[in-house]
Structure 1
Amino acid sequence: MEKTPYAYEFLWKQIEKGYREIRKEKYRNLISQFLFDEEIRKKVEKLKDRSGRNYEGGLLEKTASVISLALCMYDNYPEIDIDLILSGIILSCLCTTFPKKECYEKIKEYEELIPFLFRKKRKKPTVELTVYDGIIRLDNKIYIRLERRRGENKKGEVGNGSRRKEDF
C-alpha cells in the first residue's frame, strides 16, 4: 500500500475529536498551536508510521487509531489523566514535523508531557505512561496481525467469491 485508505479529512476529524476531549486549557492551547497549522498538517499527511503503517498517511492513521483506543480505555478507567494521555498522543504525531531539539524547546515548560515524547527523559513510570505505552503496543499488534490475516486471505482466494476447500 502506498497511501492510507482513509480520507485525511476523516483522520483529522478523529484527532480533533480527541483534542476536544482535553479539558485542561494549558494543553489545549499548546496543541492548538500545532494542530490547526495547515503547513504542519500537510507535513503530517505525508509521514509514514515506522512501526507498521509504512505508507503515506500512516502516522496520521495510527494517531487517530490510538486516540480512539485511549478514549475507550478512559471509559473503563475514568481516574486516569486522559488529558495528559491525549495530549501526549497528539503531540507525538505533530512534533514529528520538527527536529527533536526544536520540539523539546516548544514543550519544555510542560514537564509532565516530556516523558511521553522523549523516552530518555522518563524517570518514574506513571499510570498514564503505562496506559500510553500499552495502547501504542496494542495498536501495533492489532495492525500487524490484521496485515498478516489480509495476506493469508489473499493467498487463499480462489476468485469471484468462491470458497476455499477448507471452508467446507
Structure 2
Amino acid sequence: MNKSPYALDFLWHQIEVIKSNIKKPKYKEILNQIFENKDMVELFEKAKDKKARNYQHGILERTASVGSLALCVYDNYPTIDIDLLLTGIILAGFRDSLGRPFFYKYVKEYQEVSELLYKKNRKKSKLEYFLFDELFKIDERVINFMKRKEDVDGNFI
C-alpha cells in the first residue's frame, strides 16, 4: 500500500474533532501557531509513519487513530488532562513528520507539552505521560496485528 486507505477528508475531520475537544487557551495557542504554517501542515499530511503505517498519510492516520483512542479513554476517566493529552498526540504527528530536533524549538516554551513529547525532559511521572506512551503502543500493536492477518490479496482473514 502506498497511501492511507482512508479518505483525506475523513482523516482531517477526525483531527478537527480532536482539536475541538481541547479547551485550554495555552494549548489552542500552540496548535494555532503550528496549523498556520502551511508548509508544516503539508509535511504532516503527507508523512509516512515509519513504525506501522509506512505509507503516505500514515502519520495523519495515526494521529487521528490515537486521538480517537484518547477520547474514548477520557469518557471513562474524566479526570485525565485531556487537553494536554490531545495536544501532545497532534503535536507528536508534527514532531515525527518534521524531525524531533527541528520540532523541539516549537514546543520548548510549553514545559508540559515538551515533557510529553520528549521523554528525556520528563521531570516526574504523570498519568498523561503514561497514557500518551501506551496509546501509541496500542495503536501500533493493533495495526501490526491487522497486517499479519491480511491474506495475499490484502483482505483481512
Relative to the length of structure 2, the TM-score reads 0.90
1:21-43, Cα deviation, whole Å (9 max, x unpaired): 00101100110111243322221
Residue 145 (str. 1) matches residue 133 (str. 2):
no
Q: Structure 1 vs Structure 2: percent identity of aligned residues?
A: 41
CA distance in 1, matches of 2:114, 2:65: 22
Aligned length: 157
Contact 1:114 1:121 in 2 (8 A): yes
1:100-159, Cα deviation, whole Å (9 max, x unpaired): 3442222112101112211221232210011111111111111111111113786998xx
Residue 85 (str. 1) matches residue 97 (str. 2):
no
2:47 match: 47
CA distance in 1, matches of 2:143, 2:99: 27
Aligned Cα root-mean-square deviation (Å)? 2.1
2:130 match: 130
1:61 match: 61
Larger Rg: 1
Gaps of 5+ in 2: none
Residue 112 (str. 1) matches residue 112 (str. 2):
yes
CA distance in 2, matches of 1:74, 1:137: 17
CA distance in 2, matches of 1:23, 1:156: 39
Instruction: Tell me which amino acid in the other structure corresponds to 1:46.
Output: K
- Most deviating of 80-89 and 29-38: 29-38
CA distance in 2, matches of 1:155, 1:127: 37
CA distance in 2, matches of 1:5, 1:29: 31
Shift of 1:99: 4.3
Gaps of 5+ in 1: 158-168
Residue 155 to residue 3, structure 1, CA distance change in 2 (3 Å): closer
1:160 match: none
Relative to the length of structure 1, the TM-score reads 0.85
> Which contiguous aligned blocks of 4+ residues in structure 1 show a shift greater than 4 angstroms?
152-157
Contact 2:150 2:156 in 1 (8 A): no
